[in-house]
Amino acid sequence: MINDEYFLAALRLASGNDPVPGHVSAAARDAFGLRVPGAVTAAPAECAAPGGVRDGQGSHLVRFVTAGLTFDLEVTIGDGLIDVAGHVFPYPGEGAVIDVRTPHLTLSRRIANTGDFAATGLPPGWLSVVCHRPGHQPVQTRWVRIRP
């Protein structure tokens, strides 16, 4: 019969013999590179589609909310690519910029005085939006997976 202390000691010794696989380290570095330092993360929220949203025709509406800022994103999938038409409210102010991000591509857009922005031709897969406001912390949405 094996004593618990000996078993734990054997586990400790064995754990030091196997290095972390290279692909695991690379994936961890890639994930770390996607973070936005100091950002506040907006959480998904329920959202009824307003008139004009083409739900059922290859698009859907997603809402993200945090204290003081709401993102409505209409995501359309066509020809294997993703288009995002977004609205941020309340208006985040003059000089605010939106980054529409995928793991391999970031498109920066100015926000219209109405709070609207758009980005087209994104690859399918993971997507996040970050609002950069002068004098405030960035606000980012959670990553969502968009599939054609």
pLDDT of residue 50: 53
The Cα-based distances of 142 to 68, 103, 126 in angstroms read 16, 13, 10
pLDDT of residue 2: 60
pLDDT of residue 27: 81
**Strands 69-78, 125-132: parallel, antiparallel or unpaired by DSSP?**
unpaired
Alpha carbon 123 to chain centroid, angstroms: 14
Exposed e or buried b per residue across 43-81, where buried means at least 16 C-beta atoms within 10 angstroms of its C-beta: eeeebeeeeebeeeeebbbbbbbbeebbbbbbbbbeeee
pLDDT of residue 72: 97
Please, what are the averages of pLDDT over each run of 10 residues along the chain (148 residues)?
Answer: 69 70 78 84 80 57 93 93 96 95 94 96 95 95 90
Could you tell me the residue ranges of all domains in the chain? 40-146
Domain 40-146 has CATH 1.10.3470: no
What distance in Å separates the CA atoms of residue 81 and residue 100, rounded to the nearest whole number?
14
